[in-house]
Structure 1
C-alpha cells in the first residue's frame, strides 16, 4: 500500500460508494441528483494498517423552488377559514440569478401600523398648533 489512507464516500444508506480515493482528496457532491429533503454523507477512511474511521454528516438538500407561506406556521392550532399567501420561486442556476418572483410579499405587521398612526397623529398635533399660534 502507498502509506496513505483510503477514503470511501457514501450518500445516505447506499452500499456502493459514490467516490473512492486516497487522502487528501477533493470531491464535488452534486446535490442536483438528490431529492429535496434530509440526507447524510458518510465518510469511511481506512489507514494503511487497516484501521477504520467513520464520520456521518447530516445535511438537507433544497434544490427545488423555495416555498414561502404566510398565514400559518408549523404546529399552529387553527380553526375556520385561513387566508394564506403562498409564493414559490426558483433560484435559477449557478451562473444567473432569477430576480422575477424571488421576493416574497408579506403583509405589514400591526406594530408598524401603530407606529405610523402615532407619528401621523403627533405630526398633525404640531401642525395644528403651529397654524393656531398668534
Structure 2
C-alpha cells in the first residue's frame, strides 16, 4: 500500500465481497444496468494507514421503461369506471438532453384552459369597447 494514497473498497447493498478495490484517486464507473430496479445502497470503505472511513449512499435504479399513467393517483379515493391512459417508453441510454416524459402524450391541464378563456374574454371585451362605432 502506498504511503500517500488510500485504498477504497466499494460494496453494493449487503454484499460481503466488494465489487471493486481501488487505490485513490480514481474515477469509478458504476454500471447500474447489472442492478435490479429499485432502492440500493452504495457503501465505500476507505483505508489509509491504520485508519478506516465509511461513506454510505442510498440511491434508486430505474433502468426499465418509464411507466406513465393518467387518471389515477396514489392513495386516491375513486368510484365507478375509470378511464386510464397508460404509456411505457424507454428514455434511451445516451447522455444527451432529453426532456423527461417528452414522448408521453398528456392532456392539457384545466388551469391552462382557464387562463386561455380569461385571456380570450379580456381580448373580446377590449375589442368591443375600444373599436365600437
Task: Give the TM-score taking structure 1 as reference length.
Answer: 0.80
Structure 1 stretches of at least 4 aligned residues deviating more than 6 Å after TM superposition? 95-98
Q: Distance in 2 between matches of 1:95 and 1:115?
A: 36
Cα RMSD for the two superposed structures? 2.6
Q: Does 1:54 align with 2:54?
A: yes
- How far residue 27 of structure 1 moved from its aligned partner, in angstroms, is 0.9
Look up the match of 1:109.
109
Partner of 2:11: 10
Which residue does the alignment assign to 2:39?
38
Could you say what secondary structure the match of 1:76 adopts? coil
Pair 25,97 (structure 1): closer, same or farther in 2 beyond 3 Å: closer
8 A Cα contact 1:90 1:102, kept in partner: no
Secondary structure of the corresponding residue to residue 28 of structure 1: coil
Residues 11-53 of structure 1 show CA distances to partners (whole Å, capped at 9, x for unaligned) of: 111111100011222211001111111111000111222x221
Q: Where do 5+ consecutive residues of structure 2 fail to align?
A: none
Report the Cα offset of residue 63 of structure 1: 1.2
Q: Tell me the distance in 1 between the aligned counterparts of 2:23 and 2:115.
A: 62
Separation in structure 2 between the aligned mates of residue 96 and residue 122 of structure 1, nearest angstrom: 42
* TM-score (normalised: structure 2): 0.81
Number of equivalences? 131
Structure 1 gaps of 5+ residues are: none
CA contact (8 A) 1:72 1:84 kept: yes
What is the rounded CA distance, in whole Å, between the counterparts of 2:89 and 2:28 in structure 1? 29
How much does 1:77 deviate? 2.1
Paired residues of 1:89 and 1:102 also in contact (CA < 8 A): no
